[in-house]
Amino acid sequence: MTPRFPVCDGVPASGLARGPLWAAAVLLAVLAQSLSAETRSDGEKGKKQFLYCIACHTVEAAGRQRRGPHLEGLVGRPSGVVEGFAYSDNMPDPPVTWTEEQLDAWLAAPHELAPRMCPGYTGIRDPERRRALIIYLKDPAAY
């Protein structure tokens, strides 16, 4: 006898479409897709925000050295450790680890962390713009 419904791993599809477990699986799939689309959109916004940073920074370790250190692998990295970059004495002491929270504080008010560093950069007031930039900096190659 031929099954009335397609078979998935030996289980008729009609059996998959029943019960709360199936409904929960569908809901989770839809939520995951919408969350990844939202993060993707924020990352794209962050990439645009990064255009303000490119005068001093690059997101590629192999990129041309600029006024500031490269930002590849920044999230989770301690401050002041990019090999070959001559840091100023204005770096925070003790060094900080660039967590998302620490980056948010730095991006909002850099002169509170290092008063004489980045003279032309006064911060990003909008928390959504900072959040988007941090999402981009976590994985620039994805955008």
String of DSSP letters for 113-130: HSTTS-TT------HHHH
State the CATH number of the domain containing residue 21. Answer: 1.10.760.10
| Residue labelled with tokens 């998302």 | 100
Q: Which structural domain range is residue 103 located in? A: 11-142
**pLDDT per residue as tens digits for the range 25-80:** 666 565 555 545 557 788 999 999 999 999 899 999 998 888 889 999 999 999 99
Establish if 31 belongs to a structural domain: yes
User: How many separate domains does the chain show?
Assistant: 1
Q: Is residue 24 part of a domain?
A: yes
Report yes or no on 1 lying in a domain.
no
Residue 54 falls inside a structural domain = yes
pLDDT in tens, 106-142: 999 988 888 877 777 889 999 999 999 999 999 999 8
Q: For residue range 71-98, what is the model confidence (pLDDT) as tens digits?
A: 999 999 999 999 988 888 877 778 889 9
Tell me how far apart the alpha carbons of residues 110 and 38 are, in angstroms, rounded to a whole number.
27
Comparing CA positions, the residue from 56, 59, 34, 66 lying closest to residue 143 is: 59
